[in-house]
Amino acid sequence: MTVISNVVKGLGCVLFPLALAAPAHAADVEVLNWWTSGGEAKALGVLKDDLAEKGIGWKNMPVAGGAGTNAMAVLRSRVASGNPPTAAQILGFDARDWAQRDTLANLDQVAQEQNWSEVLPQALQEFTKYNGHWIGAPFEIHSTNWVWGNKALMDKLGIEQPKSWDDFLAALKKAKDAGYIGLAYGGQPWQDATVFENVVLASGGADFYRQALIELDENALKSDTMVKAFDQLRELLTYKDSNSSGRDWNLATALVINDKALFQIMGDWAKGEFDNAGLKPEQDFVCFRTPGTQGAVTFNSDQLIMFKTDDPQQKEYQETMAKTIMSPDFQIAFSQLKGSVPARMDLSADKLDACSQKGYEQVKQAADADKLMGSLAHGYAAPASVKNAVFDIVSSFVNSNMDSQTAATQLARAVQGAKS
Amino acid sequence: MSHSSSKREMSARARWQAWLPKLVLAPSLALVLFFVYGFILWTSYISFSASDMLPNYTWVGTHQWSRLWGSWTWGIALHNIWVFSLLYIVSCTLLGLLLAILLDQRIRAEGLLRTIYLYPMALSFIVTGTAWQWFLNPGLGLEKTMHELGWTSFSFDWLINADMAIYTVVIAAVWQATGFVMAMFLAGLRGIDGEMIKAAQIDGAPVWKIYLRIIIPQLRPVFLSAVVVLAHLAIKSFDLIVAMTGGGPGNATTVPATFMYSYAFSRNEMGIAAASAVFMLAVIAALIVPYLYSELRGPRS
Amino acid sequence: MSTTAPISRASMWPRIVLYAVLIVFAALFLMPLYVMLTTSFKTLAEIQQGNMLALPEQWTLTPWLEAWGSACIGLDCDGISGYFFNSIKIVIPAVVISALFGAFNGYVLTKWRFRGHKIVFGLILFGCFIPFQIILLPMARVLGVLHIANTTTGLVLVHIVYGIGFTTLFFRNYYETFPNELIRAAMLDGAGFFTIFFRILLPASGPIIVVTVIWQFTNVWNDFLFGVSFTSGENAPVTVALNNLVNSSTGVKAYNVNMAAAMFAAVPTLVVYVLAGKYFVRGLMSGSVKG
Amino acid sequence: MSFLHIDNVKKRFGDTTVLKGIDITIEKGDFLVLVGPSGCGKSTLLNMIAGLDSISEGELRLNGEVISHVHPSQRDIAMVFQSYALYPSMTVAGNIGFGLEMRKVPKPEREKAIKNVAQMLQIESLLDRKPAQLSGGQRQRVAMGRALVREPQLFLFDEPLSNLDAKLRVDMRTEIKQLHQRLKATIVYVTHDQIEAMTLATRIAVMRGGELQQLGTPHDVYDDPNNLFVAGFMGSPSMNLIEARIEKDGEELVAWVETADDRLKLPVVRDREALGAYAGRRVILGLRPEAITDSRSANHQDGIIYEAALNVEIIEPTGADLYVVTMLGGREVNARMRSGTAVEVGQSAPFAFDVARMVAFDPESEARIR
């Protein structure tokens, strides 16, 4: 065996210098992201153009697939090998995880210049700051408690915009009875969870949402309120069609667009699909907060985190990028394309469309009332491990006949297991 | 050339020749030791560490293992792999044996039929999954076709039915591997001594009895090999599930392989992922090591 | 030649039933391929209205062209052609190098045995049976350290390493049947280690080279797990691109394009299988049964 | 000075000793046959001479040079293998010329040499064929050609005829014998067939269990065996081994042998001195079948014939001879009589013993008494 160990040592000697020979840095910024669909890519193009004006080259590093899963895997191997990109698109708790490992650049100076702590809502600052230092620049705020409705179908069936959960179910029933699909539903775990968090917020209220899904209180998770939420989810599910399993969100949106379904519960990125179909908000389709959740907003936000570097030029570029992203013009322009609202709370909504104007106002109000809360389905309520544990239970519930009591108990157990 | 110098030279050459083979084998062995056994050790260690998003070498004992066994999804994954493996192995073996026996009856177009039965094995699981996903799609595939042919009550929604989805994966997997098992059995059948069968015929045994009593018992080594190979394929199955159901609906078709992938790459739970991978290895090793041992120990030196 | 009993000529019925069963099975086995092929030549409208089993009313090549050159996978709408060539870039060096390793290993393990050669062989062989999940995490790191993460080069390395087990098995079992006296004769004739290998063993290794190449080609081409774990974006092999294409959506699912793309991914291995089916079977067999 | 000297050579594999110190010396032009049952170590010894197996202890000298640790290709030795070991991918010419090619002999010279050898072995028409296209006998010739072309100091043959059918084996045997005589080559030849050994050898080394039992000319080994093993192994049918009791009969020394119903007294004429010490003890007598015969066939000139009437148990005619079996000392004894001798099973017949050829062995040590 000494022979072998010598060979292994020898191999190490050959491979190590190879590993240390890091490639030279180009005078570009390299931005890892998973914005690969049309609207997203266009929105990102705004940043690219802004930087080009400032003479900064752009090396796009899009990693498609797996809703960012693949991108995170790539990012991990880049960082682990000591060769991180300039910046990366990231969500919620993932930003904290990277900061915790001391891999991120400090953006305090830019933040101070642009007064970020004043203009960004407190709930979002939880994720853009770590240990009192700024680690990320948010592009926008998306909210997930939206319902998208087919206006023509509502008119045809005589449905008013529902104000309460019961109204909402009644409207769905009307559509179902008339031979339409009540709820356009996409059967993927994150979509199940998106609907679930809407139901939890609607039935338990903002405090309960916070207690159960953000603070992950075990008693709240297995409380009667949670059981009731599962009951309501079960009832809601009777209004979806039977072929929803595995369906993508945009295919579900298409059901609404094509007059096949009445409503869809989905984040505001769904608006992009209506735009692409040439439909006008409040004329051809309607948008309203999920009944029962008015006053509160569950949000998520894409942010750009910058990785530590010793290259002064790269540092400068990083700061320029952060500054650009947080500039009022960019925030508006980006949200116009992305369907979101600006992350800054101090801008005029004039240039946004009807739905976004409404949404922006509601986000501001929710922020003032401390009812702006992170979305669980998108990693702004709990770390990835907990998030996925919730996905597991909710998806199992959706796809089986599990009773609500069991679901609540299992949910509490799974969250505990993932937390430890 | 003087006597002694020639001797020294020769022994140098002899030494070199004696070392060369080991030297040639060494890179492979080094690669295997590092990339297989080194990695196994590393992953095993990680399963006892606090690793989450990135490896973290803090020792936490069996913490990750107890989390693994407490996990809801892991329970589903184990149940699924058990159901999947059992059905897959049994169906492939029986169907493969049946086809091999039928083909062994001096069939006219044997070559062609054999080719047809075997071609799925040449396909990637991703292609197979894509094809079957489309084939079994309730909205457009088999179900719709049957409705159009007039059988309106026909219903086949297994692919999107959480209780049945795993069986659609079994169907596709059986479709893919049956031909291979058939080829193994066919080779086994062709290796059986014909005179023995003639003797049995002279003794007046009917054909089915000859198969049941004389031929099939002799195929025992083929059964063993088929089961080992199929079990190993089943536990490694990842591609087919990803392509057909993506682990869904919900997590109804999660198996250990997809479980591990998701925990490692999307859930920031590297410790649990490592533990699940080590568990899979242990199961396969329990199957393969005795098999390899008996194969290698054999009469060949 | 069949060794089993000829069925008595008196009754034709068993024969007819036998053929019927065989043909039904053949139809079942061919069905998915048939559906894939016909679907790939149909228009989307026809797919949604028509019968899955029917032949296309209007044959169209558009899905094939689209799958090859313009279907959107993620952000890029260049079809799967680039990924197809990625796979070729991976498969050629991976197959050649792993086969070479296997040939040398088989040669040493049969003709230049040393103490513990069985253990070494067992160690190498076990490597092809491990569930690859166990090496995903460290491999991702090593590729990162070597700066070949997310490259086709990285995948080539991975496929070589995990292909050695099977190629060694093939060559070892083949060279095992070569008389050792051949090596001794050559030694007396004055040939050394490499001369014996290149002049005497290798020229007589045609059949096993074919088997090994086919086996490795199919394995590497059909790989998905390594591809999806270690590459992304434009560096992915064709199987990963196919999966991304099929499972990512932009409005409507273009089933005809999906099927055409699946055919592209399937064609190389199918061609190999049809051209060299005999060797293909032999490869499958020697990968599993030896006794 | 001897040409090939095997000096106290030993071979160990781990704890087992396969060769326990072999000493053999032969002269230039000798045809040494190593013979013995399988597992006796004869092939190992041959491989050690070739350099294909290493030597654990002892020394090998060829033509005065120590070659114990010289690489096989440098020993100036050629070998013909049992399986012929023809390179499957090369033509016959390529096979024959490969050794010369490895020794960097220029091509024209090589071709000439190949042609010469092919002519000698009558395989000129086969030069372009591949081994797979040849018959067994042809392959055998090619294998010999490959050895001959090198014109080595020493030829080694490892059971070269064992894969041929009986008729071809006899023909090739003759041919090898002729080659040896014509080329005056020195040969070491391994076989388990004692007839091959007898016909081919100038020197025979009988081996058993890693030990040399006897080294000598075919005549020595046949008529003057060193021990019971050599006596039993060489010759077919093998030597009759008969239990007897040595007694002094006045001045005479005699051996008493039990017959079916009586006792037979055979006078001792060979090794009398040594056997004298065995008076009153049991020994084992050795008599070749041809030394027990009918009266007319007996060698009355050189031999000392002693006749006795014994019961005939079995008769086996072989055409040329008639083997008659009787019982002596409780064992079957083969007598070789002239064809046509009038004997009948169950009847008594006269047997003539050539006691001058009678040898005796110690029953305990199995060694020859002399």
Tell me the pLDDT band of C13, cut-offs 50, 70 and 90.
confident
Average pLDDT over residues C31-59: 85
ipTM of this complex: 0.79
Q: What percent of chain B has pLDDT over 70?
A: 94
Strands A297-300, A142-143: pairing is antiparallel
Smallest Cβ–Cβ distance between D78 and the set C186, C188, C204 belongs to C188
Q: How far is B160 from chain A (nearest CA, A)?
A: 5
| Model pLDDT, residue B256 | 93
Tell me the pLDDT band of C2, cut-offs 50, 70 and 90.
very low
CA distance D225 to D270: 13
Q: What percent of chain B has pLDDT over 90?
A: 34
Q: Is A240 helix (H, G, I), strand (E, B) or coil?
A: strand
Q: Which of C6-20, C232-246, D221-235 has the lowest mean pLDDT?
A: C6-20
Contact A62 C228 (CB under 8 A): no
Contact B149 C51 (CB under 8 A): yes
Average pLDDT over residues D204-213: 92
- pLDDT over 80 (residue C282): no
Q: How far is C224 from chain B (nearest CA, A)?
A: 6
Q: Which residues of B touch D (CB under 8 A)?
A: 3, 6-7, 10-11, 13-14, 17
3-state secondary structure chain D: CCCEEEEEEEEEECCEEEEEEEEEEECCCCEEEEECCCCCCHHHHHHHHHCCCCCCEEEEEECCEECCCCCHHHCCEEEECCCCCCCCCCCHHHHHHHHHHHCCCCHHHHHHHHHHHHHHHCCHHHCCCCHHHCCHHHHHHHHHHHHHCCCCCEEEEECCCCCCCHHHHHHHHHHHHHHHHHHCCCEEEEECCHHHHHHHCCEEEEEECCEEEEEECHHHHHHCCCEHHHHHHCCCCCCEEEEEEEEEECCEEEEEEECCCCEEEEECCCCHHHHHCCCCCEEEEEECHHHEECCCCCCCCCCCEEEEEEECCEEEECCCEEEEEEEECCEEEEEEEECCCCCCCCCEEEEEEEHHHCEEECCCCCEECC
| Model pLDDT, residue A16 | 36
| Rg, Å, chain B Cα set | 26
CA distance C155 to C133: 15
Cis amide leading into B217 (omega within 30) = no
Strands D187-191, D154-158: pairing is parallel
Tell me the pLDDT band of D251, cut-offs 50, 70 and 90.
confident
Tokens 């059905």 correspond to B87
Under 8 Å CB-to-CB from B67, ≥6 apart: which residues? A417, A418, A420, B271, B272, B275
| Model pLDDT, residue A10 | 38
Contact A79 B250 (CB under 8 A): no
Smallest Cβ–Cβ distance between B277 and the set C108, C134, C225 belongs to C134
| Residues 20-79 in B contacting A (C-alpha not used; CB under 8 Å) | 22, 26-27, 29-30, 33-34, 52-55, 63, 67, 70-73, 76
Q: In chain A, which residues have their Cβ closer than 8 Å to the Cβ of B22?
A: 3
DSSP A211: I
Q: How far is A101 from chain B (nearest CA, A)?
A: 9
Average pLDDT over residues A358-381: 93
Q: Which of A66, A63, A53, A111 is nearest to A85 (CA)?
A: A63
Give the chain C residue nearest D14 (alpha carbons). Answer: C115
Q: In chain C, which residues have their Cβ closer than 8 Å to the Cβ of B270?
A: 137
Tell me the pLDDT band of A81, cut-offs 50, 70 and 90.
low
Q: In chain A, which residues have their Cβ closer than 8 Å to the Cβ of B249?
A: 187, 245-246, 395, 398-399
10 Å Cβ neighbour count for A206? Answer: 19
| Model pLDDT, residue D284 | 93
Contact A18 C147 (CB under 8 A): yes
Tell me the pLDDT band of C74, cut-offs 50, 70 and 90.
low
Q: In chain C, which residues have their Cβ closer than 8 Å to the Cβ of A45?
A: none
| Model pLDDT, residue A1 | 30
Rounded to 10°, the helix B165-190/B125-136 angle is 130
Q: How remote is the C-alpha of A194 from its chain's centroid? A: 10
Torsion of CA B15, B16, B19, B20, to 10 degrees: -150
For D3-35, write each residue's pLDDT tens digit: 999 999 999 888 888 899 899 999 999 999 999
Q: Phi/psi of residue A271, each to 5°?
A: -60, -35
Average pLDDT over residues C115-142: 86
Q: Which of A245-249, A301-305, B91-95 has the lowest mean pLDDT?
A: A245-249
Chain B and chain D share a number of CB contacts under 8 A equal to 16
- pLDDT over 90 (residue A323): yes
Q: Which of A229, A161, A239, A265 is nearest to A393 (CA)?
A: A229
The domain made up of D4-233 is a member of CATH 3.40.50.300: yes
Q: What percent of chain D has pLDDT over 70?
A: 100
Q: In chain C, which residues have their Cβ closer than 8 Å to the Cβ of A38?
A: 250
* Subunit partners of chain C (3 or more CB pairs within 8 A): A, B, D
CA distance D17 to D35: 19
Q: What are the boundaries of each domain within chain D?
A: 4-233, 240-361
DSSP B36: I
Give the chain C residue nearest A78 (alpha carbons). Answer: C144
Task: Output the CATH code of domain B73-297.
Answer: 1.10.3720.10
Give the chain B residue nearest C6 (alpha carbons). Answer: B105
Q: How far is B25 from chain D (nearest CA, A)?
A: 21
Element (H, E) at A28: strand A28-33
Q: Is A373 helix (H, G, I), strand (E, B) or coil?
A: strand
Q: In chain B, which residues have their Cβ closer than 8 Å to the Cβ of C221?
A: 124
| Model pLDDT, residue A289 | 94
pTM, whole model, 2 decimals?
0.82
Q: How far is C107 from chain D (nearest CA, A)?
A: 15
| Model pLDDT, residue B269 | 86
Contact C244 A65 (CB under 8 A): yes
- What residues pair up with D208 in beta bridges, in sequence order? D211
| Model pLDDT, residue A370 | 92
Q: CB of D78 within 8 Å of any CB in chain C?
A: yes
Contact C250 A83 (CB under 8 A): no
Give the chain B residue nearest D74 (alpha carbons). Answer: B10
Q: CB of C2 within 8 Å of any CB in chain B?
A: yes
**Residues A213 and A383 sit within 8 Å (Cβ to Cβ):** no
Question: What is the full DSSP assignment across C50-70?
Answer: S-TTSPPSS---HHHHHHHHT
| Model pLDDT, residue C252 | 64
Q: How far is C60 from chain A (nearest CA, A)?
A: 25
List Cα–Cα distances, D164 to C227, D167, D171, in angstroms: 57, 8, 10
Which domains does chain A show, CATH number per domain?
28-142+300-359 (3.40.190.10), 145-298+374-419 (3.40.190.10)
Tokens 């009847």 correspond to D347
Q: In chain C, which residues have their Cβ closer than 8 Å to the Cβ of A73?
A: 140, 229, 232
Contact C150 A248 (CB under 8 A): no
Contact B26 A393 (CB under 8 A): no
| Model pLDDT, residue C274 | 83
| Model pLDDT, residue A13 | 36
Does D have 3 or more CB contacts under 8 Å with A?
no
Smallest Cβ–Cβ distance between B13 and the set D65, D66, D71 belongs to D71
| Model pLDDT, residue C285 | 65
DSSP A35: -
Contact C181 D83 (CB under 8 A): yes
Interface test with B, best of D53, D59, D62, D74 (most B CBs within 10 A): D74
Smallest Cβ–Cβ distance between D65 and the set B3, B11, B14 belongs to B3
Does B have 3 or more CB contacts under 8 Å with D?
yes
Q: In chain D, which residues have their Cβ closer than 8 Å to the Cβ of C184?
A: 47, 50, 52, 72, 79, 81, 85
10 Å Cβ neighbour count for A27? Answer: 11
**Residues A111 and A303 sit within 8 Å (Cβ to Cβ):** no
Tokens 């790459």 correspond to B265
Average pLDDT over residues B78-88: 94
